[in-house]
Structure 1
């Protein structure tokens, strides 16, 4: 029992450290992406942390199996390097028994990933989709920030306002520059609008206009002297709706109970993917235990790269099978991939026994013929 607690503690501590680092890296990348959209006026900066919070379960469901895999490799690799595993082997610790001990932290991680994959992650995706839908319904006027140039429509329009009222109804010192494109997409120069003030006006059909007061409109092409200047008292500008790219699939938000009752191939692929994540935990544990065995002279990181490549191959095959299942072309689903790597794990786990068996058999044959 003491050995079991010691091994479990080492694995869980390493798992926690690795998972925390991976989570920070992934969250940082996503946060930078959302921050860039907020800087462009496509997202309200106030919802960034809320979006990231709802996305954490989706991140963790993929991070935890990898964290457990690396945790076992690093924790047991250190024990082999410091000859602690050699001492345990002398007291009867076989690779099969080590795998049995490793199933306890694996069961804990599998239960957590099952909760995340089947419940929390879809609910989080639903919340993020609602937030992004709300953000997508906002107009350029709703996302303006005083004192900052805002680029939208792929950079074809740049908007600036010097001051903006707290209730976001009145602007002053307005500047708008927009590329003029023909029906075929050809460049027809730019249009520049400047105005002393502006306000938003909502039409009966729901469309919104920015009404500018006391300003000028300049039309022309840069580098040419054919600019046309028009002075106006009142001018209306249609406010386009910004498009927010959230990279969220609609089926990811479907509750698991609805997937169970659906015959749609895409829904079945999503269901198998969610069920595969907890199963992935046990398979990678089976792979990691024999791969963690290292020679003290070789160092603990010798097998780390091949092990990671094996894990990435496993995940890549799962993703490829999921894509085939989406199209109804792969009748065996994701279970064939899991079965293949279970076979690989069993071979690795019993490789030493198989090697000794064949060596002993060869020796008996040589003796028989000697």
Structure 2
């Protein structure tokens, strides 16, 4: 029991430290991406932290198996370096005792990842999908930062909007500029420009409009003299599409029960991926025990890079199989299109790590 507590405490502390570092790196990169989208007006700034909060379980379910794997490598590697494992082996404590020592952290990690992958993460992805769909439905001026141009549209038609300032007390924009440019074959190069002294947002029949007051409208093609100028006291500009009911979430945002009932190739691929995240924990933790064996003269980090590359290869094969299963319908899918075979290959590799040396030595003696 003392050995179990000693190893478990070291693994727990190292896992927490590695998880914190990896989460900070991953969250910082993703936050910078979302921050750039917010600066470009593609997403509201107040939605950033909600999106990151709902994404956090997805980050953890990917990072936690790797963190536990690295923690076991570091802890057991240090014990080999300090000759602690030599003392344990001299006392009759081999790999079997070490395997029993890591059962508790492995079971805890499997439970947390199963909770995240099968329940928490799908609900979080559904909420993220809902937030992004709401952001798509929001008008350009709702996402507009006063004092900056905001461009929205596709290749055939684009709209640029600008407001000099926002009067928050009375709820209207000041010195509003709206320019619609068309690039299709019929009206190529035609530009419609509107300037108004003020404007305010309003809703009618589920559609967003901008009510402009005291302004001018200019229409024509740049370089030609047939511009038309129209002065107006009030004008309404449609700036949003009709708000429809919420779209169904993507396959990643559907619950596990929905995936079981759906039965499509995308649902089957997602379901296998969620289960595979749980299975990677015991397989890679078993592999970490023989991979952590190092000679004190070699250094504790000698096998760290090959071990991490092996983990990346394992997860990369699972991701590749996931895309293959999602692309091929069940009736046309080959029998070997299953993540089960990848787990079996990984188990065979773990078996060779434990017993490969003995098998080859017996063959050499024979």
Per the normalisation by structure 2, the TM-score is: 0.86
**2:109: which partner in 1?**
109
Partner residue of 1:159 out of 158, 161, 165:
161
**2:356: which partner in 1?**
351
For the aligned residue pairs, the C-alpha RMSD in angstroms reads 2.8
Matches within 5 A, 1:10-159: 10-153=10-153, 156-159=158-161
2:295 aligns to what SS in structure 1?
A: coil
Q: CA deviation at 1:344?
A: 0.3
1:350 aligns to what SS in structure 2?
A: helix
Residues 84-112 of structure 1: per-residue CA shift (max 9 Å, x gap): 22222222232333223223211111111
CA distance in 2, matches of 1:110, 1:168: 54
1:295 aligns to what SS in structure 2?
A: coil
Q: Does 1:331 align with 2:330?
A: no
CA distance in 2, matches of 1:185, 1:117: 50
Kindly indicate whether the alpha-carbon contact (under 8 Å) linking 1:117 and 1:274 is maintained by their aligned counterparts in 2: yes
Residues 46-74 of structure 1: per-residue CA shift (max 9 Å, x gap): 12111111111111111111111111112
Q: Does 1:277 align with 2:284?
A: no
Kindly indicate whether the alpha-carbon contact (under 8 Å) linking 2:137 and 2:240 is maintained by their aligned counterparts in 1: no
Kindly indicate whether the alpha-carbon contact (under 8 Å) linking 2:126 and 2:249 is maintained by their aligned counterparts in 1: no
Kindly indicate whether the alpha-carbon contact (under 8 Å) linking 2:72 and 2:289 is maintained by their aligned counterparts in 1: yes
CA distance in 2, matches of 1:140, 1:173: 16
**2:231: which partner in 1?**
232
CA distance in 2, matches of 1:111, 1:240: 45
Q: CA deviation at 1:258?
A: 2.5
Q: CA deviation at 1:335?
A: 0.8
2:102 aligns to what SS in structure 1?
A: helix
User: Paired residues, what number?
Assistant: 354
Residues 269-289 of structure 1: per-residue CA shift (max 9 Å, x gap): 222211111111011112111
CA distance in 2, matches of 1:99, 1:185: 72
The answer for unaligned runs of 5 or more in structure 1 is 243-247, 366-370
Kindly indicate whether the alpha-carbon contact (under 8 Å) linking 2:201 and 2:211 is maintained by their aligned counterparts in 1: yes
| Residues 1:53 and 1:198: Cα distance change in structure 2 (over 3 Å) | same
| Residues 1:226 and 1:91: Cα distance change in structure 2 (over 3 Å) | farther
Residues 292-318 of structure 1: per-residue CA shift (max 9 Å, x gap): 111222222221111111111111111
- Per mean C-alpha deviation after superposition, the further-off stretch among 114-123 and 319-328 is 319-328
Q: CA deviation at 1:349?
A: 1.7
Matches within 5 A, 1:252-271: 252-271=252-271
1:200 aligns to what SS in structure 2?
A: strand
1:142 aligns to what SS in structure 2?
A: coil
**1:342: which partner in 2?**
347
2:301 aligns to what SS in structure 1?
A: coil
CA distance in 1, matches of 2:35, 2:241: 19
2:142 aligns to what SS in structure 1?
A: helix
- Per mean C-alpha deviation after superposition, the further-off stretch among 267-276 and 225-234 is 225-234
